[in-house]
Amino acid sequence: MSGTREKYQKVAYYPGCALEGTAHSYNRSTQAVGKALGLDLVEVKNWNCCGAMEVKNVDPKLQTYLSSRVMSIAATEMKMDVVMAPCNGCYHNLKKAEYDLSHDPKSVEVVDRLSKKAGHATYRAGQVETIHALDWIKHGIGEEGLKERLRGTLKGLKVANYYGCMYTRPRHIFPEKDQGPGSESTSKPHYMDDLLAVAGAENVEFPLKTACCGGAHTLSDSDTSTKLVLNIIRAAEASGAEVIATECPTCHSGLEMHQVRAEKKFGQATRVKIVYFTQLLGMALGLSPKQVGIHENISDSLGFFKEKGIA
Amino acid sequence: MPIHEVSLIRPENLQTHEQLVVDGVDVSGHWSTFIQSRAITDYNEAMQDEIAALPGGENVHRCWQCGSCTNSCTVNAINPDFNPRYWIYLIRLGMESEILRDKEIIWQCVSCNKCTYACPRDVVPEGVMKALSHWMELKGHVPKSPSMVFDEVFSEQVFARGKIEEGRVMQRFFKRTGQDLRQPWLIEMVKRMLRHLPVTMLTKLGLATFVAPSTSGWSRARAAIEEYVHEQEHNRRRALGLDGLIEAARRDAGPAAAGEGARS
């Protein structure tokens, strides 16, 4: 693990489109937490969209190409070994591209052809390692390291940890998961739980950690999304959670949007607060609510954190 | 193989007679309700191959009907008619007319990949659902679903500029699907956003809807992607035999038109 720790001290940072828009608070808090922990983030130069959940429905190999271009720049132009993506969509797509490029000759051929025409080096499988923001903190600092740097505590805060779909499914694109103790689990992920527990939070037993929020149809089939989100929020509240911690901008904005929609359209009001795990960690590291972008969330939690003595 | 979770007794096949006497026996009322027998003759024998020719559908032939996909399905939990296992069964048999009964809901797959996670045969049911939705649209059975319109609006921006801007995607999607952007819940959401957001951030968000973010030097990538998209569209239409009509018409029109076709 010590080699991994070394490698994660300075990583290529791929924020992705959402973190420059609706998920700006995730971007802000991730960078602030990195700084507080002494981990270096170097943004991928001139990056492009990974294809999100949409491009694959037009053509899956184009999504592989788009993701490969990001990894190609990190590897060839920046000489980085690790790409860190805080967004589940970006993380998933880079992982998927990595898998396809090491297993499917047709994908290799299409990516090579498109890369040559676009005028950049073709990405070859294995050139970089793609990790999530959770891997980055869990292995770059570790629980002990995090503990030493705490300046506050989340003590008394009841949290439901919500990971969503793309962090664990499908299993085959995450070969490092399900490898026994210390590794992440695809059926019952725990990295976020582990980190927030170190920061003092009380993680509730939450059965819908990897349930789907309907993010793919958040606007095109809103009623389905609202039902799915309401299910997640209700389960979290029933588990006694005051806060749902998120680690994906699509899940996060889906939960926030449909919490409002459920209230306005169906009269189903819920109280649970929705915050990024990096915002919670940041406050435990002594950062102000503003520094972690609490004010940029739709779900209004500033007063709540003040009342709890966390902010 | 029977599909247990799908009833073959359909309301429209049940016939009730107020008064019915058969061979002198009165079988009216409750007893006169019976299941109409039916014979299916319109199999599309190419259906499995057609689905397999579309992205995502490649492994449909591997299915052995265990039902893990339907059992794990997110959408099935809120709508029992959404049944991936059943549709894969129909695809493999080529029962086109049967599958068309569900044409309005097949596109509703949320791509959560629970089915792909659960599938012991690597069928990638999520991919099959996408291939099936595509097939419905390509064959003209359904208009483009709202989901496909969203995917296209999104992809167009990525292909054109390398990046997307969410506000712009949303506006275009609402416009293309003829929806009003001023929905009460959206207004409420923006109101809550405005409550704490600093002015600088708002200006940045507002500006992004006018000055679209883009990846610099993207034009060559754009040209390569557009060429590829065009080529794939052609391949898919050919795989589904949709260009056959045009070719037949050309042949019919005589050697002059055929020669023209050969030159282009």
Report the 3 state secondary structure along chain B.
Answer: CCCCCCCCCCHHHEECCCCCEECCEECCHHHHCEECCCCCCCCCCCHHHHHHCCCCCCCHHHCCCCCHHHHHCHHHHHCCCCCHHHHHHHHHHCCHHHHHHHCCCHHHCCCCCHHHHHCCCCCCHHHHHHHHHHHHHHCCCCCCCHHHHHHHHHHHHHHHHCCCCHHHHHHHHHHHCCCCCCCHHHHHHHHHHHHHCCHHHHHHHHHHCCCCCCCCCCHHHHHHHHHHHHHHHHHHHHHCCCCHHHHHHHHHCCHHHHHHHHHC
Look at residue B259 in the predicted model and tell me its pLDDT. 45
pLDDT in tens, B224-236: 999 999 999 999 9
**Mean pLDDT, all residues of chain B:** 85
Contact A174, A203 (CB under 8 A): no
Question: How does pLDDT run across B75-123, given as a tens digit for each residue?
Answer: 999 999 999 999 999 999 999 989 999 999 999 999 999 999 999 999 9
Tell me the pLDDT band of A240, cut-offs 50, 70 and 90: very high
Of B116, B134, B217, the CB nearest to A169: B116
Please write the tens of the pLDDT for every residue from A66-94. 999 999 999 999 999 999 999 999 999 99
Taking the C-alpha atoms of residue A294 and residue A276, their distance in angstroms, rounded to an integer, is: 9
Task: Specify the long-range contacts of residues A62-66, CB closer than 8 Å, at least 24 apart.
Answer: A62/A114, A62/B155, A62/B225, A62/B228, A62/B229, A63/A93, A63/A96, A63/A97, A64/A96, A64/A97, A64/A100, A64/A101, A64/A107, A64/A110, A64/A111, A65/A110, A65/A111, A65/A114, A65/A115, A65/B225, A66/A93, A66/B158
**Residue A208, both tokens:** 């819908």
* Helix orientation angle between A105-118 and A88-103, rounded to the nearest 10 degrees: 110
pLDDT at residue B69 greater than cutoff 70:
yes
Kindly tell me if the per-residue pLDDT of B50 is higher than 50. yes
The tokens 């500029």 sit on which residue?
B161
DSSP A171: G
The answer to whether the CB of B47 falls within 8 A of the CB of B91 is yes
Count of beta carbons in the 10 Å neighbourhood of residue B118 = 19
**Mapping DSSP to helix (H, G, I), strand (E, B) and coil, where does residue A203 land?**
strand
Residue pointed to by tokens 């921006």: B157
Strands B34-35 and B14-15: antiparallel
Question: Which ipTM was obtained for this model?
Answer: 0.93
Q: What is the pLDDT of residues A120-130, one digit of tens each?
A: 999 999 999 99
Contacting residues of A for B145, CB less than 8 Å apart: 220
Sheet architecture: strand order including A158-162 = A202-203, A158-162, A243-246, A273-276
Residue A19's nearest CA partner among A201, A302, A253, A239 is: A253
CA distances from A234 to A150, A251, A272, B100 (A): 31, 15, 9, 35
How close B230 comes to chain A (CA, Å)?
A: 11
With cut-offs at 50, 70 and 90, classify the pLDDT of residue B3: low
pLDDT of residue B206: 63
pLDDT over 50 (residue B264)? no
Predicted local distance difference test score (pLDDT) of residue B27:
77
Q: Measured between CB atoms, does A103 come within 8 Å of chain B?
A: no
**Could you tell me the two tokens for A188?**
């019952």
Q: Using a pLDDT cut of 70, give the percent of chain A over it.
A: 99
d(CA A83, CA A132): 8
B102 CA: distance to closest CA in chain A (Å): 16
| A185 at interface of B, judged by CB pairs closer than 8 A | no
Give burial (CB, 10 Å; 0-12/13-18/19+) of B183: middle
Q: Which domains does chain A have, with CATH numbers?
A: 2-132 (1.20.1050.140), 151-308 (3.40.50.11810)
Which residues of chain B are within 8 Å of residue A296 when distances are taken between CB atoms? 196-197, 201
Q: What average pLDDT does range A173-192 have in this prediction? A: 96
Name the residue with higher pLDDT: B21 or B247. Answer: B21
Of residues A18, A58, A295, nearest to B197 (C-beta): A295
Q: What percent of chain B has pLDDT over 90?
A: 56
d(CA A249, CA A16): 10
The predicted pLDDT at position B260 comes to 45
Instruction: State mean pLDDT over B189-212.
Output: 69
List phi, psi (to 5°) of A82: -130, 135
**CB burial class (10 A; 0-12, 13-18, 19+) of residue A244?**
buried
> Which sign, positive or negative, has the C-alpha torsion A24, A25, A31, A32?
positive
Q: How far is CA B153 from the centre of its chain?
A: 16
Question: How many whole angstroms from its chain centre is CA B109?
Answer: 8
Residue B261 has pLDDT above 60, yes or no: no
- Average of pLDDT values for A178-193? 96
For chain B, the residue count is 264
- If pLDDT is split at 50, 70 and 90, which confidence band does B29 have? confident
Q: Given pLDDT bands bounded at 50, 70 and 90, which one contains residue B32?
A: low
Q: How confident is the model at residue B262 (pLDDT cuts 50, 70, 90)?
A: very low
Count of Cβ atoms closer than 10 Å to residue A245 Cβ: 30
Dig out the tokens for B99 from the structure. Answer: 């599958």
* Chain A residues inside the 8 Å CB shell of B147: 57, 216-217, 220-221
CA distance to B11, B14, B16, B88, per residue, from B35 (Å): 9, 5, 10, 25
Contacts of A292 in chain B (CB under 8 A): none
Residue A78 carries which side chain, given as an amino acid letter? M
Chain B touched by A46 (CB under 8 Å): yes
| A239-268 mean pLDDT | 96
- Is B104 within 8 Å of B85 (Cβ atoms)? no
Q: What's the pLDDT band for B30 if we cut at 50, 70, 90?
A: low
Rounded Cα gap, residues A309 and B4, in angstroms: 55
Helical pair B184-196 and A249-266, crossing angle rounded to 10 deg: 120
The 10s digit of each residue's pLDDT in B162-193 is 999 888 898 899 999 998 888 888 888 888 87
pLDDT in the model for residue A37: 97
Token code pair at residue B191: 């109101």
- Asked if the Cβ–Cβ distance from A169 to B55 is below 8 Å, we say no
pLDDT above 80 for B246? no
Domains belonging to chain B, first-starting first, are 1-38 (no CATH), 47-138 (1.10.1060.10), 144-238 (no CATH)
Q: Give the model's confidence band at B35: pLDDT under 50 very low, under 70 low, under 90 confident, else very high.
A: low
Provide the shortest C-alpha distance from residue B16 to chain A (in Å): 36
Name the helix (H) or strand (E) containing A257.
helix A249-266
- Mean pLDDT computed over every residue of chain A: 96
- A62 touches B at CB < 8 Å: yes
CB B165 within 8 A of CB A21: yes
pTM of the model: 0.91
- Compute the distance between CA of residue A77 and CA of residue A67 in angstroms, rounded to an integer: 15
Q: What is the mean pLDDT of residues A115-138?
A: 98
Q: Average pLDDT for residues A202-223, to the nearest whole number?
A: 95
